[in-house]
Structure 1
Amino acid sequence: MTTVAETPRAPRGRRPMSERRRDLQRLEISREAVRLFRAQGLAATSGEQIAEGVGLSVRTLWRYFRSKESCVEPLLSQSSAAFVAMLRRWPRDRSLEEHLIADARPSSPTSPGDDEAALAVIAMSRAEPAFRAIWLVVHERSEPVLAEVIADRLGRAPEELAVRVQAATLAAALRITTEDYAVALADGVAITGEDMVARLSEAVRAATHGVIGEALT
């Protein structure tokens, strides 16, 4: 007796969301959450409001984020990743100032307001410990890449203790500079792009005792 092989049935339920689509959804939620936090504050903003703003159920929102405060993480991560990527592109024949001026670009070409929103969260972290904790975790992730940048400029290995210590120091210097800039913007203090470049360059030299910052020949 001949049997006919059955055609495999498609699994029931929703198809798994691709990682790219999931990241985009998380970023959309983050933008809406930060918009609400800036407009009405953290305490007055609920998960229900955030979910409604992006057309999701609250149950779905909590599948993406563990709390309403953690909704700010994608925007902060995007901004931090963009800066780290810029450091990776730093040509050896340019000083840091020259590179920062030539390579300045928004972290999200499609949503240039993302950088401003991330800075607003950093400024709010002065008074919101939950935001502060997330910002510190996000920024700490840049240390391994900073170690690679320093090692490349010095011709050393990124695993060396001295290089890792310099990377941690540089990360702290960049964090402080970013926080100062974010707070100044929130307080209505005008800081030009040239001023920001000068401050970043000064922070890099101070953190590395001047061993990086200049063009290499």
Structure 2
Amino acid sequence: MPPLCCVHRAIEGGGARVRVAPSRGQEQAAPEGERPSLVERRKTALRFQIAHEAVRLFAAQGVTATTGEQIAEAVGVSARTVWRYFPTKESCVLPLLAAGLDFVVDRLRHWPTDMSLLDFFTETCRISDLPPGTPAILDLIRMTSTDPALRAVWLQAHDDALPVLARLLAQRSGNDADSLRTAVHAATLNGALRAAAEDFARRYGDRPGASGAEIGACLDAALRAATEGLPY
């Protein structure tokens, strides 16, 4: 599921492939199946700490009024450290926005060959015991709809995910990852994931304790609409 349900899992596991700057794309990750080093896990944890404090400050006093120095002070690090990890204050939230996409990518690597995409996500939501969306993530996704700079970071996270999704779908279908057909399929899946996250944040913004089942329902509805194609 998009970011709503996977952030704490990513922090605890230390294995999220976090995108730290719009100009870099996806961070170099450890080879699949290999646990990241202690140094990399600490870096990942710090990125998430910075992201959480940035969201808290953005929600409390607005994006414009928040400075990188305030984010650094809240985390307990120097401003130079924040700027070493992130090029702008708005990009500080990128780890949170990318975490759910990384979770989806990881799940797709275990997609059985005899199961449809819709059935696979339905089963994943059923057995993963998705936790409820946290207030911080709900606030962040809602803010991406009103703040242009945060919107750009949100779209960057999804744009970075497109080639990864395309490669996974190409492996599944046997088609070229660079083909137009694969690109359309990857964009459709990506759009459904983003729409599901935004719909959940909009519907349950006043209910931060909304269950993982409700998150799964939003994802299921979005994927069903995507798999129906364009009925026009």
User: Which TM-score band applies after superposition, normalised by the shorter structure?
Assistant: 0.7 to 0.9
Cα distance in structure 1, aligned partners of 2:138 and 2:103: 13
Q: 1:101 aligns with which of 96, 103, 126?
A: 126
The two structures have a TM-score, normalised by structure 2, of: 0.68
Name 1:173's counterpart in structure 2.
192
Name 2:83's counterpart in structure 1.
62
Q: Could you say if the C-alpha distance between residues 189 and 36 of structure 1 is closer, same or farther in structure 2, counting changes exceeding 3 Å?
A: closer
Q: 2:57 aligns with which of 27, 31, 36?
A: 36
* Aligned residue type for 1:65: F
Q: Could you say if the C-alpha distance between residues 66 and 153 of structure 1 is closer, same or farther in structure 2, counting changes exceeding 3 Å?
A: closer
Q: 1:82 aligns with which of 81, 94, 103?
A: 103
The unaligned stretches of length 5 or more in structure 1 are 1-16, 107-111, 211-217
- Contact 1:91–1:99 under 8 Å retained in 2: no
**Structure 2 residue 205 is matched with structure 1 residue 186:** yes
Name 1:202's counterpart in structure 2.
221
**What is the aligned-residue RMSD (CA, Å)?**
2.9
Summarize deviations over 1:123-153 as a string: whole Å, max 9, x none. Answer: 1111111110000010122222322443354
- Contact 2:47–2:85 under 8 Å retained in 1: yes
Task: State the number of aligned residues.
Answer: 188
Cα distance in structure 2, aligned partners of 1:28 and 1:87: 27
* Aligned residue type for 1:146: L
Q: CA deviation at 1:71?
A: 1.0
- Contact 1:139–1:175 under 8 Å retained in 2: yes
* Aligned residue type for 1:102: I
* Aligned residue type for 1:85: D
- Contact 1:120–1:186 under 8 Å retained in 2: yes
Q: Tell me which structure has the larger Cα radius of gyration.
A: 1
Cα distance in structure 1, aligned partners of 2:181 and 2:47: 37
Instruction: State the identity %.
Output: 47
Cα distance in structure 2, aligned partners of 1:103 and 1:154: 26
Name 2:149's counterpart in structure 1.
130
* Aligned residue type for 2:126: I
Cα distance in structure 1, aligned partners of 2:208 and 2:130: 22
* Aligned residue type for 2:59: R
* Aligned residue type for 2:96: L
Cα distance in structure 2, aligned partners of 1:191 and 1:154: 36
